């Protein structure tokens, strides 16, 4: 397992000074002008120090200077520094650093959603991604809960791999910051990445079968597919959980986008809000959704194509939500969040909702608005 | 700090008994019958059709060798007499007096096919013990047929199914509502009986919210199945409102008393509004739990549900004890006969020895002991209590997390459990599935253990925490002082690698030899 490390030295600058993010050089300059202090390097060092304590001498590939090597000085790690195109202070640095890590199996980054997106865009094929949380925006499912937790997870990957589970498809999401500063939180789903998870909540296999969560999801999806009513438009939200319903019908979902199914056939792929509205017409609508990992978002994170008008048409009763019990148990809070952009609708959706967790199994989850 | 034991288990590297001995080896040689005996009784005492044609495949060893072998095997175990604070299992001493009572011929030599007139003594004990459980729960009738707690939960699911079927409403009452932290046998048995499972997650108080329950129950709810306290050790103070909410939609309410020890004698399932409950005699009531059995899940219910109970039910009529099989609405049997009767007798002996006041005191001691443990465990760096924001005292056990220590050292709860055995301490209980706390462990002191025993257990935990920091690899490769080192769990997932009997092992080994030969 070859580990690469890249630090976005300006990640998180915007947060403490009210900028809601740090994307782009102008924002960085403004943040510094407002007195922001960079913390990502120190946080990366905390994570790597935990790794060095637990597994001294671990080999780490990194980029020069503030992009990595500076933060590893003096730690008991075997560091290989790969030259890149030089530090420009922009996202290009991250991308070039990752491009120099083509032989790595796992790329660890210190940053936020913007950095995650930059790293994921250049990630070597089959490599995994792990975030040391440093950003202002962290809606992606690739972050450890703290720098120490990230370091512990790395140590486990090297020294105790049976304590590590892998999420094959954690969400990589990012927000358009200018829109956010204008008061709208509209993160988009940019892709999925393989991400390590601490196995602390899952029994390490010392006898007894492991639960096959994929089979649970397929069971739930199959039940939804069998219960579909003729003439109803089923909007299939992004992500693998919602997509499992399309797969149960023998269809191939657009995992990063929204599809629609009526009478067992795909009637829209990667649809926009207007497409869905037109397809819905005056007929009945139901919306199939997953839940974002760790964060627990149901609506408003990566699925803005599903617009308030459509949600209102379906109503809370018309939401079909799929998530496995392990995913629900790993949520930071026992809540599902909605942020549709329409505060009245958000309030209407609050209450309790049944999540389908397997064949003949449901979990009653509280829906809340932030 | 207590002086920790320097323990080293015996290791006898000897073959399994089937591979021992020599042709002709015997436990005892019996003389051939004298001619006059043969003449009197005949030579062919066993009818030809019943006599076996081949020799039984038994090890040919002397009685002395058999004794020695089994002594050696016992020396390689912890013997179930050590300090075992195995949470949710309510470990108790199993009195030898009760054991001897069950060896008496009045019990050991009777058979359930005998006429009840010849079984009056044992039926009286079962009937009287039914009365004791009634007084502890407020229920109207108990049966002992279920072979364990999960079997008793299944009894409830079957009784509920029969109840709704009798009303012609089984098509409508399709759902069972439970908590994420209820023991997994509740959702599992309800699903086995054909109900859809509706789970409730724990919220901030450490138990599911009343609001969530109210949102979950409806005219579709057949029953709710719930533990209280749950394995976090947190008592849900809203339980009466829960039962009320379920009753308002017509659902049946089942109280899984798996965690009864902290509340025994303090509350009555009936007074809380429940329709039925279950006690584990092999836990709370001092009967042995062996390696997964024989156990008894005593199932009790109100008169409204009694018609649906599995048969037979022990009843008293006109001064006689009878086995009532004539119950046309019965859900049928969950197991043969009346249950593991010797366990019922042992539980009866425990209850009579304790008395009502003793049972109350035992409950108090178990809660005090656990809170003493909580206090001391809380002083050990690296351990974290589950639901730390919950201020209320825990009941008879507490779910703890080794998460902080695991993050710091890489030593997890499974490693830790293995290392405990090196001190002659029984490995701790971790958690039922699903694990909702990182690296969980769940100690339960109960009323048996002395303060010295509890201190020893805690001191071993503190010592292993130190070892995890100073020499994590040593802890992760434990046990070192046991006859067998780490067991590779993967083998259990491959049936070709294990066998439950000698015959199956030989068959599997022959199969793999043949496969090797062919390759």
Please indicate whether residue A23 or residue A73 has the higher confidence score (pLDDT).
Answer: A73
Q: What is the pLDDT of residues B249-294, one digit of tens each?
A: 999 999 999 999 999 999 999 999 999 999 999 999 999 986 556 8
> Where do the structural domains in chain A lie, given as residue ranges?
3-201, 213-369
Q: Which residues of A touch B197 (CB under 8 A)?
A: 360-362
- Asked if residue A37 has pLDDT above 90, the reply is no
Q: Compute the distance between CA of residue B383 and CA of residue B404 in angstroms, rounded to an integer.
A: 6
Compute the mean pLDDT over every residue in chain B, rounded to the nearest whole number.
93
Nearest by CB to residue B197, choosing from A159, A202, A361, is A361
pLDDT of A177 reads: 67
pLDDT at A14 over 80: no
Which of these ranges, A198-202, A262-266, B59-63, B378-382, has the smallest mean pLDDT? A198-202
Rounded to an integer, what distance in angstroms lies between the CA atom of residue B392 and that of residue B61? 60
Touching check for B474 and chain A: CB below 8 Å? no
Concatenating the DSSP letter of every residue in B200-219 gives E---TTSS--HHHHHHH-ST
Quick one: pLDDT at residue B351?
97
For residue A167, what are the contacts with CB-CB under 8 A and spacing of at least 6?
A: A141, A194, A195, A196, A197, A293
* pLDDT band per the 50, 70, 90 thresholds, residue A182: low
- The whole-number pLDDT of residue B45 equals 85
B-contacting residues in A 16-75 (Cβ below 8 Å): 50, 54
CB A195 within 8 A of CB A149: no
Which pLDDT tens digit goes with each residue over B326-367?
A: 999 999 999 999 999 999 999 999 999 999 999 999 999 999
Strand-strand pairing, A187-198 and A106-111: unpaired
Q: What's the rounded mean pLDDT across residues B101-114?
A: 94
Chain A residue numbers touching B441 (CB-CB < 8 A): none
B465, B405 in Cβ contact below 8 A? Answer: yes
Q: What's the rounded Cα separation, in Å, for the pair B516 and B519?
A: 5
Is the pLDDT at B519 greater than 60? The verdict is no
Give residue A206's pLDDT.
41
Name the residue of chain A whose CA is nearest to B179's CA. Answer: A363
Among candidates B202, B407, B487 on the partner chain, residue whose Cβ is nearest the Cβ of A152: B407
What is the rounded distance in angstroms from the CA atom of residue B185 to the CA atom of residue B147? Answer: 13
Q: What is the DSSP letter of A365?
A: E
* E strand residue ranges, B10-168: 141-146
Count of alpha carbons within 13 angstroms of residue B445, beta-carbon side: 27
Q: What is the pLDDT of residue B452?
A: 96
> Which of chain B's residues have a Cβ under 8 Å away from the Cβ of A365?
201
CB A141 within 8 A of CB A121: no
Which residues of chain A from 166 to 205 reach within 8 Å of chain B, CB to CB?
198, 200-205
Contact call for B410 and A211, based on CB within 8 A = no
pLDDT at position A293 over 90: no
Task: Flag whether pLDDT at A164 surpasses 90.
Answer: no
Which residue out of B194, B246, B407 would a mutagenesis test of the A interface target, given it has the greatest number of A Cβ atoms within 10 Å?
A: B407
What single string gives the DSSP state of each residue in A4-43? EEEE-TTTTHHHHTT-S---SHHHHHHHHHTT----HHHH
User: Taking CB atoms and an 8 Å cutoff, what residues of chain A touch B490?
Assistant: 205
Which residue is closest to A150 within chain B, CA to CA? B407
pLDDT of residue B430: 93
Contact A360, A216 (CB under 8 A): no
Residues from chain A that touch B434, judged by Cβ atoms under 8 A, are 201, 211, 325-326, 329
Cα gap B405→B475, rounded to integer Å:
12
- What local confidence, expressed as pLDDT, does residue B471 receive? 96
Q: Is A95 on the interface with B (CB under 8 A)?
A: no
pLDDT tens column, B24-69? 999 999 998 999 999 999 878 889 899 898 988 899 999 999 999 9
Chain B neighbors of A213, CB-CB under 8 A: none
In whole angstroms, give the CA distance from residue B157 to residue A134: 50
Chain A partners of B410 at a C-beta cutoff of 8 Å? 54, 152, 155-156, 159-160, 163
Q: How many beta carbons lie within 10 A of that of residue B78, not counting itself?
A: 17
B247: which 2 tokens? 């009753």
The interaxial angle of helices B451-470 and B413-420, nearest 10 deg, is 120
Determine whether the interchain pair A364/B212 forms a contact, defined as Cβ–Cβ distance below 8 Å.
yes
Three-state SS letters, A175-220: ECHHHHHCCCCCEEEEEEEEEEEEHHHCCCCCCCCCCCHHHHHHHH
Q: Do B203 and A159 touch (CB under 8 A)?
A: no
pLDDT (0 to 100) of residue A333:
83
Q: Which residues of B touch A49 (CB under 8 A)?
A: none
d(CA B326, CA B329): 9
**Helix intervals (H) in A107-174:** 113-122, 147-159
Q: Residue B408 and residue A152: Cβ atoms within 8 Å?
A: yes
Question: Which positions in chain B touch A203 (Cβ < 8 Å)?
Answer: 430, 433, 435
* Interface contact A54-B409, CB threshold 8 A: yes
Residue A179 pLDDT: 65
What is the pLDDT, as a whole number, of residue B262? 96
Q: How far apart are CA B119 and CA B98, in angstroms?
A: 19
pLDDT of A11 strictly over 90: no
Say yes or no to pLDDT of B312 above 80. Answer: yes
| Yes or no, beta carbons of A329 and B434 under 8 Å apart | yes
Place A171 in a pLDDT band, splitting at 50, 70 and 90: confident
Mean pLDDT of B147-157: 96
The number of beta carbons lying within 10 Å of the beta carbon of residue B342 is 20
- Considering only CB atoms, B435 lies closest to which of A203, A208, A360, namely A203
Q: What is the pLDDT of residue A205?
A: 42
- Tell me how far CA of residue A132 lies from CA of A6, A149, B510, in angstroms: 10, 9, 53
Residue A34's nearest CA partner among A14, A60, A54, A58 is A14
Q: How many CB atoms within 10 Å of residue B419?
A: 26
For each of the domains in chain B, give its residue range(s) and CATH number, in order of start. Answer: 1-40+57-76 (no CATH), 97-353 (3.40.640.10), 489-518 (no CATH)
HSE-CB of B377 using CA atoms within 13 angstroms: 25
Can the peptide bond before residue B503 be classed as cis, meaning omega within 30 degrees of 0?
no
Is the pLDDT assigned to residue A207 strictly greater than 60? no
Cis peptide before B312 (omega within 30 of 0): yes
Q: Is residue B471 within 8 angstroms of chain A, CB to CB?
A: no
Q: For B359-409, what is each residue's pLDDT tens digit? A: 999 999 999 999 999 999 999 999 999 988 888 899 999 999 999 999 999
- Assess A366–B contact: CB distance below 8 Å, yes or no: yes
| pLDDT one-digit tens code per residue, A304-320 | 889 999 999 999 999 99
* CA angle (B259 as vertex; B219, B298 as ends), nearest 5: 75
- Contact assessment for residue B208 and residue B215, using Cβ atoms and an 8 Å cutoff: no
Query: Is the Cβ pair A357, B199 closer than 8 Å?
Result: yes
The Cα–Cα gap between A104 and B356 comes to: 68
Confidence of residue B218 (pLDDT cuts 50, 70, 90): very high
Q: Given an 8 Å threshold on Cβ–Cβ distance, is A364 in contact with B215? A: yes
Q: Is the dihedral of CA B474, B475, B481, B482 positive or negative?
A: negative
- Asked if the Cβ–Cβ distance from A364 to B412 is below 8 Å, we say no
Residues 6 or more apart whose CB falls under 8 angstroms from that of A317 comprise none
pLDDT at A29: 83
């Amino acid at each position: 397992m070859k580990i690469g490390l890249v630090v976005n030295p300006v990640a998180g600058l915007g947060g403490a000074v009210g900028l809601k993010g740090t994307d782009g050089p102008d924002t960085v300059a403004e943040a510094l002008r407002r007195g922001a202090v960079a913390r990502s390097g120190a946080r990366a060092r905390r994570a790597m120090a935990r790794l060095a304590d637990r597994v001294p001498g671990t080999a780490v590939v990194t980029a020069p200077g503030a992009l990595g090597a500076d933060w590893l000085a003096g730690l008991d790690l075997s560091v290989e520094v790969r030259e890149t195109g030089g530090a420009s202070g922009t996202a290009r640095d991250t991308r070039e650093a990752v491009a120099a890590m083509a032989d790595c199996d796992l790329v660890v980054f210190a940053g936020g959603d913007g950095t995650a997106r930059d790293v994921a865009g250049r990630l070597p094929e089959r490599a995994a991604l792990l975030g040391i949380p440093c950003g202002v925006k962290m809606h992606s499912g690739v972050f450890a809960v703290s720098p120490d937790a990230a370091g512990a997870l790395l140590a486990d990957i090297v020294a105790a791999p049976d304590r590590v589970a892998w999420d094959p498809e954690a969400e990589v999401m990012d927000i358009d910051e200018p829109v956010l500063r204008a008061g709208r939180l509209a993160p988009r789903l940019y892709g999925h990445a393989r991400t390590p998870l601490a196995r602390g909540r899952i029994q390490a296999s010392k006898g007894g079968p492991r639960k096959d969560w994929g089979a649970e999801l397929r069971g739930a999806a199959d039940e939804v597919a069998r219960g579909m009513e003729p003439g109803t438009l089923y909007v299939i939200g992004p992500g693998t959980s919602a997509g499992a319903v399309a797969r149960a019908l023998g269809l191939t979902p657009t995992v990063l986008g929204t599809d629609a199914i009526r009478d067992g056939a795909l009637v829209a792929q990667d649809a926009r809000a207007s497409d869905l509205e037109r397809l819905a017409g005056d007929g009945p609508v139901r919306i199939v959704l997953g839940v974002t990992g760790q964060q627990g978002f149901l609506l408003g994170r990566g699925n803005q194509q599903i617009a308030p008008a459509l949600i209102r048409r379906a109503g809370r009763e018309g939401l079909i939500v799929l998530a496995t019990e392990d995913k629900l148990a790993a949520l930071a809070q026992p809540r599902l969040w909605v942020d549709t952009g329409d505060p009245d609708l958000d309030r209407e959706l609050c209450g309790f909702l049944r999540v389908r967790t397997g064949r003949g199994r449901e979990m009653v989850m509280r829906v809340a608005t932030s | 700090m207590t002086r920790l034991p320097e323990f080293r288990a015996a290791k006898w590297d000897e073959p399994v008994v089937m591979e021992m001995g020599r042709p002709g080896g015997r436990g005892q040689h019996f003389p051939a019958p004298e001619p006059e005996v043969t003449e009197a009784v005949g030579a062919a005492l066993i009818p030809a059709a019943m006599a076996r044609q081949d020799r039984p495949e038994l090890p040919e060893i002397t009685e002395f060798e058999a004794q020695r072998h089994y002594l050696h095997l016992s020396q390689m175990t912890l013997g179930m007499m050590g300090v075992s604070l195995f949470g949710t299992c309510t470990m108790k001493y199993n009195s030898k007096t009760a054991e001897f009572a069950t060896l008496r011929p009045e019990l050991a030599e009777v058979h359930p096919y005998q006429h009840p007139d010849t079984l009056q003594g044992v039926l009286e004990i079962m009937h009287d013990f039914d009365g004791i459980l009634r007084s502890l729960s407020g229920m109207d009738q108990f049966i002992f047929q279920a072979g364990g707690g999960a079997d008793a939960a299944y009894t409830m699911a079957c009784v509920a199914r029969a109840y709704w079927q009798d009303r012609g409403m089984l098509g409508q009452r399709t759902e069972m509502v439970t908590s994420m932290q209820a023991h997994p046998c509740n959702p599992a048995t309800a699903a086995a009986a054909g109900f859809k499972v509706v789970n409730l997650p724990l919220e901030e108080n450490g138990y599911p919210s009343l609001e969530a329950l109210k949102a979950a129950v409806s005219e579709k709810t057949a029953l709710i199945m719930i533990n209280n306290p749950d394995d976090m050790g947190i008592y849900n103070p809203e339980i009466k409102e829960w039962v009320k909410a379920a009753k308002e939609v017509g659902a049946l309410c089942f109280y899984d008393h798996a965690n009864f020890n902290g509340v025994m004698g303090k509350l009555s399932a009936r007074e809380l509004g429940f329709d039925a409950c279950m006690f584990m005699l092999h836990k709370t009531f001092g009967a042995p739990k062996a390696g997964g059995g024989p156990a008894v899940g005593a199932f009790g219910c109100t008169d409204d549900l009694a018609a649906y109970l599995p048969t037979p039910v022990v009843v008293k009529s006109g001064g006689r004890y009878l086995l009532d099989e004539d119950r046309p609405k019965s859900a049928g049997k969950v197991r043969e006969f009346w249950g593991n009767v010797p366990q019922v007798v042992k539980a009866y002996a425990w209850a009579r020895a304790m008395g009502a006041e003793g049972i109350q005191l035992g409950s108090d001691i178990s809660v005090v002991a656990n809170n003493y443990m909580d206090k001391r465990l809380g002083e050990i760096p690296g351990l974290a209590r589950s639901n730390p924001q919950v201020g209320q005292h825990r009941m008879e056990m507490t779910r703890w997390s080794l998460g902080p220590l695991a993050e710091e050292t890489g030593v997890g709860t499974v490693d830790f459990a293995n290392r405990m055995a090196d001190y002659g301490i029984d490995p701790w209980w971790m958690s039922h599935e699903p694990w909702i706390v990182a690296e969980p462990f769940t100690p339960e002191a109960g009323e048996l253990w002395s303060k010295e025993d509890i201190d020893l257990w805690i001191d071993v935990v503190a010592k292993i925490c130190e070892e995890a920091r100073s020499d994590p690899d040593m802890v992760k490769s434990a046990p070192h002082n046991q006859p067998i080192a780490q067991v590779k769990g993967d083998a259990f997932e491959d049936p070709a690698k294990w066998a439950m009997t000698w015959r199956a092992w030989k068959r599997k080994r022959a199969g793999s030899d043949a496969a090797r030969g062919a390759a």
